[in-house]
Amino acid sequence: MATSESMHGMWSSRLMFILAAAGSAVGLGNIWRFPYVAGENGGGAFVLIYLACIFLIGIPIMSSEILLGRIGRQSPINTMRSVAASSGANPGWQLIGWMGALAGFMILSFYSVIAGWVLSYVFQMGAGTFVGADAEAAGAHFGEFTGSVWSVTAWHTVFMIMTIMITARGVGRGLEVAVKYLMPALFVLLALLVVYAAFTSGHFMEGVQFLFSFNFDKLTGNSVLLAMGQAFFTLSLGMGAIMAYGAYMPKDSSVIGTATMIALMDTAVALMSGLVIFPLVFANGLPSAAGPGLMFVTLPIAFGQMAGGQLFGCVFFILVSFAAITSAISLVEPAVAWVVEKLNTSRAAGAWLIGGVAWLVGLGSAFSTNIWSDVHFIGEMTFFDTMDYVSNNIILPLGGIFIAVFAAWILDGRIRDEEMARDGGLYGVWRVVTRFVAPVAVAIVFIMTFL
């Protein structure tokens, strides 16, 4: 039932699709969260479990999303509607598309706020704000910045405009041009920073040991759950982005082989980021704390204390900005594609409409660190925390489970066999894992988040 091309355009090659999907997967979480979690949960032992989870959860579900997107050649919402109809399935399966578009929209709204912080720090690093700064000064500066309504809102606005302008230009002139230059630049900058950390920090091997030493005594049941959750969330699964990008994928490409390449690139960025971050952290005797504290307080201190740190700190935040923008354009794409199809409007109009609404909703997250810091929505959660919790802990896991079940059990076998013919023996493995392993593993992570 698949058409040869999407009305929104096509990636010019398999490589462009891989770069785009990798750009979607590589984001802020790769750069600060994965290295920390790995180091605190057994280093190399955790990495091994994580890689197993990538192959048992990440790649099967990503392959499923690519498969469905390439069959439907439309926005995730319309793809699921048409694919369900062609398989004689209940039309309610289009809920998968709605869930993905909603999750992507929600994540974009608060992701843009954090990415705005990153953009601001590019200029603050370059201006030498953190040269010689201690923990108290860096922490106070971060608190002052996030406590300013106007500063946070302004940078949130700048980042969202950048995202909209790239998306408005379409697949060929916008999305592909962005990833064609930003993703190679990201890898070059990351490699440069690894070399910098290796030759200037004096603690490079300590960072290597933190990440890769096999400390099995640190592994717990929670470590396995963390690895499973990280494998799912790091690849942008369940949010419609990979399905939307799959709609623009050339028909002659291997689905599983392509998904594997994307997963390996995503993992490489996470590990290389650890090799940049932790030697610098250890060199300055700083805590390896996770979250915003590591990105916006600990690392600025480290760069501020080192020779050449002002320049390389600026380069680091440029790198993180590249990762953020390639993820953001994939988050907005499912909703924009649907608006273009539904309203028969121009690409630019769809991008500005969805981006504008996401910007407006994002103000709630921008205010969560200042004027709305005492406003709670679910329990003690701020607006920011609520959007994060609902999208990442509820919508995405459910979407991942439904995608795996539909692709492996409900989708017309003849259509699936035709699309997966280029994957050879891996197709049989994919069917078994996607039917019996991946949805169960994601369900376990989903249930454990509420216990």
Q: Tell me: the pLDDT tens digits for 34-82?
A: 888 898 888 999 999 999 999 999 999 999 999 999 999 999 999 999 9
What does the pLDDT read at residue 305? 87
Confidence check: pLDDT of 179 > 60? yes
Q: Per-residue pLDDT for 291 more than 80? A: no
CATH of the domain at 87: 1.10.4160
What is the rounded distance in angstroms from the CA atom of residue 378 to the CA atom of residue 409? Answer: 36
Does residue 3 lie in a domain region? no
368: which 2 tokens?
């969560």
Q: Is residue 8 part of a domain?
A: no
CA atoms within 13 A on the CB side of 172: 7
Number of separate domains in the chain: 1
- Span 221-253, pLDDT tens digits: 889 999 998 898 889 899 999 999 999 998 888
Domain carrying residue 178: 14-448
Pick from 210, 358, 274, 267: nearest CA to 22: 267
Distance CA 312, CA 132 (A): 15
Question: Of all helices (H) and strands (E), which one includes residue 323?
Answer: helix 309-343
List 214's β-bridge partners, or say none: 43
Residue written as tokens 């990636």?
Answer: 11
- Whether residue 1 lies inside any domain: the answer is no
Does 2 fall in a domain? no
CA dist 265 → 168, 242, 400 (Å): 27, 15, 21
C-alpha to C-alpha distance for 326 and 121, rounded to whole angstroms: 18
Q: What is the pLDDT of residue 350?
A: 97
For residue 296, the 8-state DSSP code is I
Indicate if the pLDDT at residue 292 is higher than 80: no
Tell me the β-bridge partners of 43: 214
Residues of the chain with pLDDT > 90: what percent? Answer: 77
Q: Residue 4 falls within a domain, yes or no?
A: no
Nearest one of 38, 182, 34, 29 to 114, comparing CA atoms: 29
Chain mean pLDDT for the chain: 93
Six token digits for residue 306: 């080192």
Classify residue 291: in a domain, yes or no. yes
In a domain, 232, yes or no: yes
**pLDDT exceeds 60 at position 33:** yes
Question: What pLDDT score does 2 carry?
Answer: 53
Q: How confident is the model at residue 31 (pLDDT cuts 50, 70, 90)?
A: confident
How many angstroms separate the CA atoms of 425 and 412, rounded? 19
Domain assignment present for residue 288? The answer is yes
Report pLDDT digits (tens) over 120-172: 999 999 999 999 998 899 999 999 999 999 999 999 999 999 999 999 999 99
